[in-house]
Amino acid sequence: MVSTEETVRVVGISGSLRKASFSTSLLKILAKRAAPSIDIRVVTLEDIPLYNEDLDQNPEIPSVAAFKKVIAENDGVLIATPEYNHGVPGVLKNALDWASRPVFESCFKNKPVSIISSSKAFTGGVRAQYQLREALISMHAHLVMGPEVVVGGVHAMLAEDVYQDENGLAFMLRSLDRLREEILSRRLVYA
């Protein structure tokens, strides 16, 4: 039987390279405010080179190998992404292209994944979230269902690494709890 206190390990992937990234800030805030039974490790993508199949061989590029390893070693994934031009930022799509290899056996296969999208616009990055879901489905990731987490007007919600909307933060934390529940239920099934 799974204990309600059992800890899950989640890698939080930021889809933005910007130093003052809203996506990275959201992940760091969630890592601080998450239940003690959810351990979040935040990673960024600045060391991942552009995907080139000629470079996709053994030995792997060290930064790519490290990225795949952190995904494989964690119980689940939380992706926080901005929306650029109605879609997923190129840096995030590029990292997923690397992580999708080998085809049908990637580190994302059957991995529980939740998504948070954000935008300065009121739409909160819904189009990026849709594109991201499509890419993750093709990689055989296990998308955690529930209300989509979109953060509109994100620039007005963050101040000095504090999220100003407690109701919005509570909504994000409930989504994180759903990710944890999915991870624990899968542990029972695959144990």
Q: Report cis status (omega within 30 of 0) of the bond before 62.
A: no
The reported pTM is 0.94
Share of the chain above pLDDT 90, in %: 89
- Does some domain include residue 105? yes
- Does some domain include residue 3? no
Least confident of 44-48, 100-104, 137-141: 100-104
Rounded to whole angstroms, how far apart are CA atoms 11 and 15?
13
The pLDDT of 57-66, averaged and rounded, is 95
For residue 44, give both structure tokens. 């960024």
pLDDT at 49: 97
- Does some domain include residue 1? no
- Does some domain include residue 181? yes
Rounded to whole angstroms, how far apart are CA atoms 71 and 74?
5
Rounded to whole angstroms, how far apart are CA atoms 144 and 176?
10
For residue 181, give both structure tokens. 């529940």
The pLDDT of 76-102, averaged and rounded, is 96
Cα–Cα distance list, 33 to 38, 89, 110, 153, 169 (Å): 10, 26, 26, 21, 9
Q: Among all chains, which residue has been given the structure tokens 């007005």?
A: 156
pLDDT at 187: 84
Domain region containing 156: 8-49+58-190
Count of domains for the chain: 1
Residue 14's DSSP bridge partners are 80
Name the region of 160 (left: φ>0; alpha: ψ -120 to 50; beta: rest): left
The pLDDT of 69-77, averaged and rounded, is 98
The pLDDT of 45-62, averaged and rounded, is 95
CATH no. for residue 123? 3.40.50.360
Which letter does DSSP use for residue 56 in this model? -
- Does some domain include residue 149? yes
CB atoms within 10 A of CB 101: 17
| 1 has a pLDDT exceeding 50 | no
| 3 has a pLDDT exceeding 60 | no
Task: Tell me phi and psi for residue 15, to 5 degrees.
Answer: -90, 15
Q: Does residue 182 contact residue 76 with C-beta atoms inside 8 Å?
A: yes
Side-chain-facing half-sphere of 74: CA atoms under 13 Å: 25
**pLDDT tens-digit readout, 106-161:** 999 999 999 999 999 999 999 999 999 999 999 999 999 999 999 999 999 998 77
Task: Tell me phi and psi for residue 13, to 5 degrees.
Answer: -105, 120
- Looking at residue 25, its amino acid is S
Least confident of 6-15, 47-56, 137-146, 157-166: 157-166
